[in-house]
Structure 1
């Protein structure tokens, strides 16, 4: 079971949430770099249903108003690139190169948080999150997740719901 703490760990995500007055929980767990799915590893370590744990993915947009966007989907599903492009008013969406994703967000792949990124990007949270009282997303490093209400997540990242998972 993951260790729940009440103090902030000082990642850009926790700093941003604290500054915004958002209530959240912090959960650390031993991360196994050889785990086939970091998201499923997190769900198991947290002792929560995988449908409550969400992964943060970056996409490059073709013909959209912004070149890069963020999609947040349950770890049990994949990002629907066509739906993401449509929701972002772009012709096409492709997965962002991992090195570029790290540079853009300031986080390491596998620990990219939707909160506290280097710059604000258009961000969509899969609509399935609305059915959850609490969702868990990366807190800014591997082996560290934060739990918060989906509405609070959307408020702090200035995001919106969209049907982007398949």
Structure 2
């Protein structure tokens, strides 16, 4: 997988570059985008399926820069809209692969038998034992397919991710 920076400044002598696939997130295979849904660069949203999971994608021009505020807003809009109707595992902004086969090969095929999620939970320190018990009960019901690691205490503002400054 490449990032937006990897695809932004490629000049070719062959004229127009082949399209690349922008990936928004991973969803259950039965999710269908709205007919008029558009994402980054106003490209239509499509689904690439593999087994029980799928990826929300758009075909974009690799020569067109990524990173404008409208691009970030489109990425967030697709993920937010999807999250209202189905579970979605979001990919970070700028996730681009070479083609639809790469979506399957690099993202979906490796993990289609896994149900994975990573969550951050804010809770009162004096209720940690209660949280651990609840997650333990859930793990027991799900044949120990649930694992929990407690980090902290961590201040609530530590959950905000900020881009690193370039000096």
Asked whether the two chains share a fold, i.e. TM above 0.5, the reply is no
What TM-score, normalized by structure 2, do the two folds share? 0.26
Higher normalized strand content (fraction of residues) = 1
- CA radius of gyration, larger in: 2
